[in-house]
């Protein structure tokens, strides 16, 4: 990547991180207050805004990388090499298997009336209605795609230009965790650890696709039931990200 665009990319990355730190926590608090006051469209507006901002940030980051001289395959829009699959295919299969087992365990627990609680302060993020679950599914796919572009490809191109690979992955993980400050300390720790693993995977395979496959199903929540937003509202079983669009009322599972 050419030096002028590397500086531009570094500045843009700094702007994104600072914007997340200064704006996101306050915005989530306002959404939570609106939901509490009975605003039925507050979550939908949040989902829509998330879609707009996420795709805009990813598009700008991608344009900077391309203008700086990188091609789409060099950025990571290609499959892992045969060598990378041979070395890391077992790890990927193991992680996906673990996610499947976790989902089965969560569904079983929900059927028995003991749904798992989400990790982090994210109750306001979870959908309650069919319409919200459709928007939430779009956010899930968007986050799993755009965050890989911004916080893996874009961030690591900038950081590996000045830091060793391991240090770059560590800094990118911290940045990703801080970008999720609105989820509270637990949410930042979990997302930071996730980012470290996905960053190492990206550098090892040279591909964004494995990270997207792992990231999309992994919402900040873990399988469990969304908190009730109003008296009499039924909690919904939230399994991963995309599955939230077709989540079923938890009382149907337990009753």
Which residue has better confidence, 219 or 62?
62
Is the Cβ–Cβ distance between 221 and 125 less than 8 Å?
yes
> According to the model, what pLDDT value does residue 1 have?
77
Of the candidates 35, 30, 24, 33, the one whose C-alpha atom is nearest the C-alpha of residue 228 is 35
**Pair of tokens at residue 157:** 């191109």
The pair of structure tokens assigned to 206 is 């040279």
**Alpha carbon distances (Å) from 163 to 5, 167, 199, 206:** 17, 6, 14, 17
Query: Which letter does DSSP use for residue 3 in this model?
Result: H
Structure-token pair, residue 104:
């089965």
Looking at every residue in the chain, the average pLDDT score rounds to: 78
Closest residue by Cα to residue 244 from 208, 220, 209: 220
List 238's β-bridge partners, or say none.
224
Q: Is the pLDDT of residue 221 over 50?
A: no
How many whole angstroms separate alpha carbon 36 and alpha carbon 62? 38
Q: What is the per-residue pLDDT for 72?
A: 94
Confidence of residue 185 (pLDDT cuts 50, 70, 90): confident
Q: Which value, in Å, is the radius of gyration of the alpha carbons in the chain? A: 19
The position carrying tokens 């507006």 is: 45
Q: How many CA atoms lie within 13 A of 128 on its CB side?
A: 18
* Residue in this structure with the two tokens 């892992």, named with its chain if needed: 80
How does strand 224-225 pair with strand 237-238? antiparallel
> How far is residue 124's CA from residue 43's CA, in Å, rounded to a whole number?
7
Q: What is the mean pLDDT of residues 116-134?
A: 77
What are the boundaries of each domain within the chain? 3-254
| pLDDT tens digits, one per residue of 63-122 | 999 999 999 999 999 888 777 777 766 766 776 676 666 666 666 766 776 655 666 667
Q: 237 forms bridges with which residues in the sheet?
A: 225
> Would you state the pLDDT for residue 119?
60
Check: CB of residue 213 under 8 Å from CB of residue 145. no
Closest by Cα among 57, 26, 27 to 45:
27
For 102, the 3-state DSSP assignment is helix
pLDDT at 213: 82
Q: What number of other Cβ atoms are within 10 A of residue 10's Cβ? A: 16
What mean pLDDT comes out for the span 163-182? 91
Q: Residue 61: is its pLDDT beyond 90? A: yes
Report, in this order, helix, strand and coil percent for the chain, each rounded to 5.
70, 0, 25
Tokens 């344009």 locate to 63
- Between 106 and 214, the higher pLDDT residue: 214
What CA–CA distance (Å, rounded) separates 142 from 163? Answer: 29
Q: What is the pLDDT at residue 223?
A: 37
Among 23-32, 85-94, 243-252, name the one with the lowest average pLDDT: 243-252
Distance of CA 5 to the CA centre of its chain: 26
Distance CA 152, CA 179 (A): 13
Q: Give me the pLDDT at residue 50, please.
A: 93
């Amino acid at each position: 990547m050419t030096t002028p665009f590397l500086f531009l990319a570094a500045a843009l990355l700094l702007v994104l991180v600072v914007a997340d730190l200064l704006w996101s926590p306050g915005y989530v608090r306002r959404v939570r207050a609106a939901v509490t006051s009975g605003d039925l469209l507050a979550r939908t507006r949040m989902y829509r805004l998330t879609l707009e901002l996420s795709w805009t940030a990813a598009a700008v980051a991608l344009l900077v990388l391309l203008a700086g001289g990188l091609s789409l395959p060099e950025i990571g829009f290609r499959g892992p090499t045969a060598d990378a699959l041979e070395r890391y295919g077992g790890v990927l299969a193991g992680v996906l298997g673990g996610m499947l087992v976790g989902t089965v365990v969560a569904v079983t627990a929900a059927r028995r009336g003991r749904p798992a609680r989400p990790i982090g302060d994210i109750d306001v993020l979870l959908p309650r209605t069919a319409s919200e679950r459709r928007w939430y599914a779009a956010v899930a796919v968007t986050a799993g795609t755009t965050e890989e572009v911004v916080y893996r490809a874009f961030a690591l191109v900038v950081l590996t230009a000045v830091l060793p690979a391991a240090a770059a992955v560590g800094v990118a993980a911290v940045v990703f965790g801080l970008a999720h400050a609105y989820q509270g300390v637990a949410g930042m720790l979990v997302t930071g650890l996730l980012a470290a693993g996905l960053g190492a995977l990206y550098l090892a395979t040279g591909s964004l696709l494995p990270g997207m496959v792992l990231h999309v199903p992994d919402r900040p929540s873990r399988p469990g039931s969304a908190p009730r937003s109003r008296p009499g509202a039924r909690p919904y079983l939230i399994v991963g990200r995309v599955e939230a669009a077709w989540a079923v009322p938890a009382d149907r599972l337990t009753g």
